[in-house]
C-alpha cells in the first residue's frame, strides 16, 4: 500500500450536497456581528477624525491663501492682501488725524491762555506758538500756558 496515494484518496470525501445547500442557507441567514467597541478604538476614531479635519482646514487655507495673490483666486481675502491692507491703514491714519485736528481746534477755542502773568509785548497768537516761541519764551520771563494738544500741534508745524 502506498501511503501517500491512499492519503490522496481521502480527498474524495465530499459533504452531502443537500447538507451543503441547507447549511449555506442557514449560515447566510445569520447576520454578522458588529465589531466590538472599546475605549481604545473610540479614542483612535476621535484622533483620526480630528486629524482629518485639521489637515483639511490647513490645506484649504494653504491653497486659497496661495491663490489670493493671483487673479485666478476664487475668493479674495482682504486680510491677506497687502495692497488692501495698506489702503486700510492709510484710511485709519487719516481719520485719526482729522479727528485730532477737530479736537485741537475745539480745545483751542475752549481753553483760554492764562495771560495774566504775560506781558502784552510777549504775547503771541496761539497758532504762532511753536518751537521758536517755546525757545524764545525760555529766554524771556514770559510764560505761556498751552494745552498739550496745542503744544503738540505747534511742534508738528
Give the residues lining the site for another protein (CB under 8 A): 1, 3-4, 6-16, 19-20, 23-24, 26-28, 30-36
Q: Is 132 helix (H, G, I), strand (E, B) or coil?
A: helix
Per-residue burial over 115-135, b if 16 or more Cβ lie within 10 Å, else e, is: eeebeeeeebebeebbeebee
What is d(CA 64, CA 156) in angstroms, rounded to the nearest whole number?
44
Q: Which residue has the cell 524764545?
A: 136
Structural contact between residues 137 and 122, judged by C-beta atoms closer than 8 angstroms: yes
Instruction: Report, in Å, the least distance between residue 69 CB and another protein.
Output: 45
Angstrom distance (rounded) from CA 119 to CA 44? 86
Minimum distance from CB of 25 to another protein (Å)?
A: 9
How far is residue 63's CA from residue 56's CA, in Å, rounded to a whole number?
Answer: 11
9/110 with CB nearer another protein:
9
Q: Which is nearer to another protein, 6 or 139 (CB)?
A: 6
**Distance in Å, CB of 49 to another protein, minimum:** 20
Cβ at position 76, least distance to another protein in Å: 44
Minimum CB distance to another protein smaller for 26 or for 138? 26
Of 7 and 148, which CB lies nearer to another protein in the complex structure? 7
Amino acid at each position: 500500500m502506498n501511503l501517500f496515494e491512499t492519503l490522496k484518496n481521502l480527498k474524495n470525501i465530499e459533504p452531502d450536497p443537500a447538507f451543503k445547500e441547507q447549511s449555506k442557507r442557514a449560515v447566510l441567514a445569520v447576520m454578522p456581528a458588529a465589531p466590538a467597541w472599546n475605549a481604545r478604538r473610540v479614542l483612535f476614531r476621535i484622533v483620526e477624525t480630528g486629524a482629518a479635519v485639521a489637515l483639511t482646514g490647513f490645506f484649504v487655507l494653504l491653497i486659497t491663501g496661495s491663490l489670493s495673490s493671483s487673479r485666478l483666486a476664487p475668493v479674495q481675502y482682504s486680510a491677506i492682501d497687502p495692497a488692501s491692507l495698506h489702503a486700510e491703514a492709510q484710511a485709519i491714519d487719516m481719520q485719526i488725524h482729522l479727528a485730532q485736528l477737530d479736537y485741537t481746534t475745539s480745545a483751542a477755542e475752549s481753553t483760554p491762555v492764562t495771560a495774566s502773568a504775560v506781558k502784552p509785548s510777549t504775547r503771541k497768537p496761539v497758532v504762532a506758538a511753536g518751537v521758536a516761541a517755546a525757545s524764545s519764551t525760555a529766554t524771556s520771563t514770559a510764560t505761556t500756558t498751552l494745552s498739550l494738544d496745542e503744544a503738540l500741534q505747534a511742534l508738528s508745524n
